[in-house]
Amino acid sequence: MQRASAILSALAAAAAVLACPGEEHDHVHAYQKREYPQVPLTPPSRPLVWSDVNVIHTTDSHGWLLGHQHLSFPEPNYSGDFGDFASFVTHMKAIAEEKDVDLLLIDTGDLHDGTGLSDGFPPGQVDGHETNKFIMDLPYDVLAIGNHELYDYANTYDMYTNFAPYWNGRYLSSNVNITVYTGNGNETMSVPVGERYVKFKTGKGRSVTSLGILYDFTGNDVNTTVQTVAKMVKEDWFTEAIKEEPDFFLLLGHMPVRYDNWPTVYDAIRKVHKYTPILIFGGHTHIRDCTQFDGRSIALESGRYMETVGWLSANLSGSDTENITFTRRYLDANRVTYEYHTNTSNSTYDTTAGRNITTGLQQLWDTYDLSYLYGTAPQDYTLSRNPYPSNGSVLSLLVTEALPYALMINNTRVNIPNIILVNSGELRYDVFAGDSPLPFADAFLYIPNITLAVAEQVLPGLNDDGDDDRRRSLERAAEREAERYARGDVSVRFNAWLEEMSTRRVRSRADDDNLTLGYVTSDQCPGVGDDTPHIAVPYYSSPDYISSDAPSVSNDTLIDLVFINFIEADVLEILNDVQSDTTYTESDVLSYSPLLASAVLGLYAQEYWN
């Protein structure tokens, strides 16, 4: 199922809510760049280690180019905007020249889908087209495609016609094709969105072979194709690409560095080049992670939403067979971090290019009319820092208050009792005290005339609660997770990472008092990866599926079973499992309301938070 709207809840990095461009309104919350952090931030713990080859890595930015501007931690850690980052890159490039070393800037995909800046375009325009222009303002050396570039053909075509050509062969889509018309009648051809690979020389003369690989993604739109990684490494072009030995392989990919197919690519190269250095940069699961497949390779993944800037250094001056000394660092994306590592101050930090990018982003904010204020949240509501259900859970807010209110507006079935089902991934970001974000643009469906007794069994069935066959339950849950992952849902892996961090909170309370909330990374590479020390954010797990409260009616009362379209197949499967009187199919599913999920919190905020 198409999921191009999958992160609309994570609205623009300042604090306002996406409004329809051109819509008239009275309440304006203008975006203003916060010149300096509004709360004290912990500086980095130590300088970066520079080597012969150094890399700055971004991934999964999803339109978060205006920084995270809320004051509730850990958000201030990520308050730098893309103009600040551009200035950082400029200063770091100058430092590299002074040190006479290579510094590469790379990105591993998912530029689309996430904030009003990327997604708030008026009718007739294309998701991410304008925000991509700011990516093009930075001197990226190589970039790779992500799965969010493929949910909508129009977005993929825009990347093929406007974005990829700008990079002159440096935008890579090794296993991703687009079908385009040739201009000769109705003839079409399937071609790479970018290039399959590129060979180039670094500024210091090192030869590089680079590929850009997407994981085995299945949620792509029609007229796009994703070849499996296993098949890709058997292609003649791949064999030809890796035949000649470079000084190092630079492998980019929208694919996590663990529990996926990087070993398949690594093994294929090692069969030909036993000792050639291999630098791998991954993405997709939104986590900070690092691993090594041998002493002359390293694989780094650098987070999400412009929260993290990845750093890697490699000392390639040793012998051709000995282990390479690598360092990696996960930088919090804020001005304190940037100024520390560039030895600058607030008065000397900003570059003209950086200032221009910030100004351009502010202008896009205004052009897209992203200042509409639906309401002011009275407190923080979180996805995982508060347990579900609780007064601090945004999931509780959604299913117990916002959905029941919004779905009764102008609804002819308002007097018929219902149960409303959603998957807990329907929200992808917290709601902070202040302005309200929007969830996904999913539609609401329903099946009428379900008895309450049957309807109440659907939620436990979806969550595999009470299944006597524990092995069958686990197998079914694993199958669903694998299928959701293949379509692009990374919530299970990301949440597992958050949970693992939370369970490792072993510092003493005295130490904790001196630290702010943030990421506390444990990976498989030597040394400490986090640039700035933090205490891990508390984590509480939530069920995969949640629902509104059951109506106070008898068990045999006929009610409406309401659910979002993303979980239709799961609901039908369980509904047919828990009863045998009727075999339900898609023909039994009706539209419940013209309201989209993206409007729910806005309507609720207008009514209750003004």
CATH number at residue 453: 3.90.780.10
How high is the pLDDT of residue 584? 98
- Average pLDDT of span 155-169: 98
More confident position, 372 or 430: 430
Question: Rounded to an integer, what distance in angstroms lies between the CA atom of residue 534 and that of residue 521?
Answer: 10
Are residues 297 and 382 both part of a single domain? no
Distance CA 62, CA 9 (A): 12
Residue whose pair of structure tokens reads 């409004």 in the numeric block? 19
Write down which residue in 330, 364, 398 finishes a domain: 364
Query: Domain range holding 74?
Result: 53-364
Residue 222 lies in a domain: yes
Q: What is the overall mean pLDDT for the chain?
A: 90
Q: Is residue 31 scored above 80 in pLDDT?
A: no
Give the pLDDT score at 466: 63
Question: Does 353 lie in the same domain as 420?
Answer: no
How is residue 133 written in tokens?
């222009």
Claim to verify: residue 410 and residue 355 sit in the same structural domain: no
* Cis previous bond, 389, omega within 30: yes
Q: How far is CA 437 from CA 81, 125, 376, 599, in A?
A: 19, 22, 10, 10
Q: What does the CA dihedral 108, 113, 116, 122 come to, rounded to 10 degrees?
A: 120
Q: State how far Cα 533 lies from the chain centre.
A: 23
Residue 235 has pLDDT above 50, yes or no: yes
Better-predicted residue by pLDDT, 437 or 118: 118
Lowest mean per-residue pLDDT among 116-130, 200-214, 432-446, 533-547: 432-446
Instruction: Using the predicted structure, report yes or no on whether residue 116 has a pLDDT greater than 90.
Output: no
In a domain, 131, yes or no: yes
Q: At CA 337, angle to CA 72 and CA 298, rounded to 5?
A: 110
- pLDDT digit string, tens, across residues 174-213: 999 999 998 877 889 999 999 999 999 999 999 999 999 9
Contact 45, 151 (CB under 8 A): no
In percent, the amount of the chain with pLDDT more than 90 equals 76
In the listed set 343, 364, 385, which residue is the last one of a domain according to the structure? 364
Determine, yes or no, domain membership for 22: no
Helix, strand or coil, per DSSP, at residue 453: helix
- Which run of H or E residues covers position 341? helix 335-342
pLDDT of 327: 98
pTM, to two decimals? 0.89
Fill in the DSSP letter of residue 559. E
- Are residues 192 and 284 located together in one domain of the fold? yes
Q: How many helices (H) and strands (E) does the chain have?
A: 17, 24
Per-residue pLDDT, 12: 30
Distance of alpha carbon 480 from alpha carbon 286, whole angstroms: 20
Sequence-distant (≥ 6) Cβ neighbours of residue 203 within 8 angstroms: 102, 103
Length of the chain: 610
pLDDT of residue 9: 33
Does 125 share its domain with 224? yes
350 shares its domain with 397: no
- Please state, in angstroms and as integers, the Cα–Cα distance from residue 418 to each residue in 308, 586, 601, following that order: 43, 19, 19
CB 307 within 8 A of CB 60: no
Identify whether 112 is part of a domain. Answer: yes
Q: Which amino acid is at 570?
A: D
Lowest mean pLDDT among 32-41, 55-64, 192-201: 32-41
Do 164 and 235 fall within a single domain?
A: yes
Q: Which of 191-200, 374-383, 432-441 has the highest mean pLDDT?
A: 191-200
Does residue 553 lie in a domain region?
A: yes
Q: For residue 144, is it within any domain?
A: yes
Domain boundary among 341, 364, 387: 364
410: Cβ–Cβ under 8 A, 6 or more apart, which residues? 593
What pLDDT score does 506 carry? Answer: 56
Q: What is the pLDDT of residue 445?
A: 98
pLDDT above 80 (res 500): yes
138 vs 602: which has the higher pLDDT:
138
120 and 64 within one domain: yes
pLDDT at res. 321: 95
- In contact, 406 and 564? CB cutoff 8 Å: no
Answer yes or no: do 97 and 224 share one domain.
Answer: yes
- Report the C-alpha gap between 148 and 3 in whole angstroms: 8
Whether residue 93 is predicted with pLDDT greater than 80 in this model: the reply is yes
Same domain as 213, residue 82: yes
The answer as to whether 515 is a domain residue is no
- Candidate from 94-108, 233-247, 270-284, 465-479 with smallest mean pLDDT: 465-479
Q: Which two tokens stand for residue 214?
A: 């997407």
Q: Do 92 and 335 form a contact (C-beta atoms < 8 A)?
A: no
Q: Is residue 123 part of a domain?
A: yes
Lay out the sheet containing 176-181: strands in order across: 188-192, 176-181, 224-226
Asked if residue 172 lies in contact with residue 210, where contact means CB atoms within 8 angstroms, the answer is: yes
Number of domains in the chain: 2
**pLDDT surpasses 80 at 573:** yes
| 210, 298: one domain | yes
pLDDT(10) > 80: no
pLDDT score of 512: 63
Measuring CA to CA, which residue among 330, 334, 248 is closest to residue 57?
A: 330
Are 345 and 407 part of one and the same domain? no
The pLDDT value given to residue 27: 36
